[in-house]
């Protein structure tokens, strides 16, 4: 529970401080074994701090949940585009504007690839699995850029009542992948969520990775070309599939996700030099094939065509059975498969090189146009990301993945204004840091 947020909301509503303090003390005692006196001392301090810092902020009026931010659908992608606008043009070789999961900068004669992934939010009670899968995800993002990962770093935030063992298990999950792939975990940060004013046991965090690559080995999405073929590896899922399994009472599926085949396959492509013949690579994560196809199409300005009969056999049979039984659209969730886009002449060579490591099949091609299409029973139909990724837990199924078009457009306009305000704020700070004049009040 966020004590500070509760206090500020109550103050904004004009509630009496004494009433707020007593209610907060009640909530504290619900969560903690503390005396009334102790709970009141804390609640009074929280309300005092909140009273000093409560303010009317210029907000977008659109919340994370309402717009599906973090839910890997079209709402999430739209916000990512706005983030890229705020960052603006940089000296990066590959920046956030290209919608890849990793960025690339040139350092002397080397190309350095950097990425960071957040752990799955529903794996707070399973810190080892959270650490394992977020590390694997971070390494995937380095590999699909054609790079060799050289280091990992982590960040762990645990709420005030969280048991310290969660930190250890989270780190152990990271280290398991680290040692198997021989990529060292070199640094990190450990903090509390909200410090003293957030009660509970919630865990969150991220793992980042750094890699190096030669220019000829880069495989960003923008390199997809008309006439290319699309290959996909088998996929057993990661954090998303684990969450789907755990929260639908199908714990046996978790074991299907615990492998590093994807990483081994990419390692072979790099060590054999075949990566230099690959045009683009990505992992099927951001809202499934629906989401990744949309992003590749936007970036490379091409159309992707998929044959569903070739895709289904590549999804782990046990995972696919679970998704079908739960009526979860497997094309709209992260199955953690490797997508490789190459010229037709390289298809056989790539498949042969990976034969003993991971199953790979040709599932489609790239042609002129925009967007993506799916062939089902010989007929083409447009395939697009949903507003949110396919609902894969009972809670997500209640929330749903649909929002009315007119409501989406209204929220987008509000988000556009908020993004522009942040750009203005950024420029004011740049001007201040350049000239050291007076600090504009609007920054705070």
Enter the pTM of the model. Answer: 0.93
Query: Do 434 and 328 belong together in one domain?
Result: no
CATH of the domain at 113: 3.30.1330.10
Candidate from 67-71, 125-129, 245-249, 348-352 with smallest mean pLDDT: 67-71
Q: What is the pLDDT of residues 47-74, one digit of tens each?
A: 999 999 998 877 899 999 999 898 888 8
Query: Do 160 and 260 belong together in one domain?
Result: no
Q: Report the pLDDT value the prediction gives residue 443, as an integer from 0 to 100.
A: 67
Query: Do 282 and 391 belong together in one domain?
Result: yes
Query: Do 380 and 391 belong together in one domain?
Result: yes
Task: Please count the other Cβ atoms lying within 10 Å of the Cβ belonging to residue 15.
Answer: 13
Asked if residue 67 belongs to a domain, the reply is: no
**112 has a pLDDT exceeding 90:** yes
Confidence of residue 442 (pLDDT cuts 50, 70, 90): low
Confidence of residue 99 (pLDDT cuts 50, 70, 90): confident
Mean pLDDT (whole number) for 428-440: 83
Asked if residue 438 belongs to a domain, the reply is: yes
Asked if residue 72 belongs to a domain, the reply is: no
What is the tally of structural domains in the chain?
4
Which residues are CB-contacts of 106 (< 8 A; sequence separation ≥ 6)? 93, 112
Q: Report the pLDDT value the prediction gives residue 57, as an integer from 0 to 100.
A: 79
Asked if residue 64 belongs to a domain, the reply is: no
Mean pLDDT (whole number) for 320-328: 97
Asked if residue 69 belongs to a domain, the reply is: no
Last residue of a domain, one of 196, 218, 240: 218
Residue closest to 213 by CA, chosen among 310, 305, 114, 301: 114
Residue 397 · residue 391 · CB < 8 Å: yes
Query: Do 100 and 187 belong together in one domain?
Result: yes
Distance CA 146, CA 282 (A): 10
**437 has a pLDDT exceeding 90:** no
Mean pLDDT (whole number) for 409-434: 93
Query: Do 331 and 344 belong together in one domain?
Result: yes
Residue closest to 205 by CA, chosen among 144, 157, 165: 157
Query: Do 124 and 162 belong together in one domain?
Result: yes
**286 has a pLDDT exceeding 90:** no
Query: Do 239 and 260 belong together in one domain?
Result: yes
Last residue of a domain, one of 174, 193, 218: 218
CATH of the domain at 238: 3.90.650.10
Of the chain, the percentage scoring pLDDT greater than 90 comes to: 84
Of the chain, the percentage scoring pLDDT greater than 70 comes to: 99
Q: What is the pLDDT of residues 223-277, one digit of tens each?
A: 999 999 999 999 999 999 999 999 999 999 999 999 999 999 999 999 999 999 9
Asked if residue 163 belongs to a domain, the reply is: yes
Distance CA 185, CA 173 (A): 11
Which of the pair, 71 or 136, is modelled with greater confidence?
136
Confidence of residue 137 (pLDDT cuts 50, 70, 90): very high
Asked if residue 178 belongs to a domain, the reply is: yes
Query: Do 120 and 208 belong together in one domain?
Result: yes
Query: Do 362 and 416 belong together in one domain?
Result: no
Q: Could you tell me where the DSSP H helices lie in 235-361?
A: 239-246, 261-271, 288-300, 308-311, 317-325, 347-353
Residue 31 · residue 161 · CB < 8 Å: yes
Asked if residue 9 belongs to a domain, the reply is: yes
Domain that holds residue 184: 92-218
Query: Do 410 and 284 belong together in one domain?
Result: no
Query: Do 149 and 20 belong together in one domain?
Result: no
């Amino acid at each position: 529970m966020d004590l500070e947020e509760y206090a500020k909301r109550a103050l904004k509503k004009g509630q009496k401080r004494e009433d707020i303090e007593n209610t907060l003390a009640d909530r504290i005692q619900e969560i903690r074994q503390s005396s009334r006196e102790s709970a009141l001392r804390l609640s009074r301090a929280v309300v005092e701090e909140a009273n000093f810092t409560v303010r009317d902020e210029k907000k977008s009026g659109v919340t994370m949940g309402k717009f599906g931010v973090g839910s890997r659908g079209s709402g999430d992608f739209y916000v990512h585009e706005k983030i890229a606008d705020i960052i603006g043009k940089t000296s990066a070789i590959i920046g956030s504007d290209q919608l890849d999961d990793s960025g690339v900068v040139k350092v002397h004669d080397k190309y350095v690839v950097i990425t960071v992934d957040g752990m799955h939010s529903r794996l707070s009670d399973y810190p080892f699995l959270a650490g394992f899968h977020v590390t694997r995800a971070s390494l995937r993002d380095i590999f699909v850029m054609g790079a060799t990962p050289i280091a990992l770093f982590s960040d762990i935030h645990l709420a005030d009542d969280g048991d310290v063992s969660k930190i250890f298990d989270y780190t152990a999950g990271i280290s398991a992948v680290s040692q198997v792939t021989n990529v060292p975990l070199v640094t990190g940060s450990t903090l509390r969520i909200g410090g003293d004013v957030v009660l509970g046991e919630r865990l969150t965090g991220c793992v980042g990775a750094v890699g190096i690559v030669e220019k000829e080995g880069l495989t960003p999405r923008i390199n997809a070309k008309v006439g290319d073929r699309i290959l996909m590896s088998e996929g057993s899922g990661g954090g998303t599939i684990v969450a789907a399994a755990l929260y639908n009472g199908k714990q046996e599926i978790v074991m299907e996700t615990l492998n590093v085949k994807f990483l081994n396959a990419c390692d072979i492509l790099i060590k054999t030099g075949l990566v230099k013949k690959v045009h683009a690579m990505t992992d099927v994560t951001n809202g499934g094939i629906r989401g990744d196809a949309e992003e590749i199409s936007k970036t490379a300005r091409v159309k992707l065509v998929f044959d569903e009969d070739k895709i289904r056999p590549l999804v782990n049979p046990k995972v696919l059975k679970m998704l079908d039984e739960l009526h979860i659209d497997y094309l709209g969730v992260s199955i953690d498969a490797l997508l490789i886009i190459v010229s037709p002449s390289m298809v056989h060579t790539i498949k042969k090189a990976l034969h003993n490591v991971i199953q790979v099949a040709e599932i489609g091609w790239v042609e002129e146009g925009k967007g993506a299409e799916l062939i089902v029973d010989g007929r083409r139909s447009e395939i697009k990301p949903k507003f949110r990724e396919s609902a894969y837990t009972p809670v997500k199924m209640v929330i749903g993945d649909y929002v009315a078009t007119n409501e989406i457009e209204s929220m987008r306009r509000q988000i556009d204004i908020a993004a522009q305000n942040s750009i203005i704020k950024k420029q004011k700070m740049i001007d201040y840091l350049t000239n050291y004049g007076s600090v504009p009040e609007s920054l705070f």
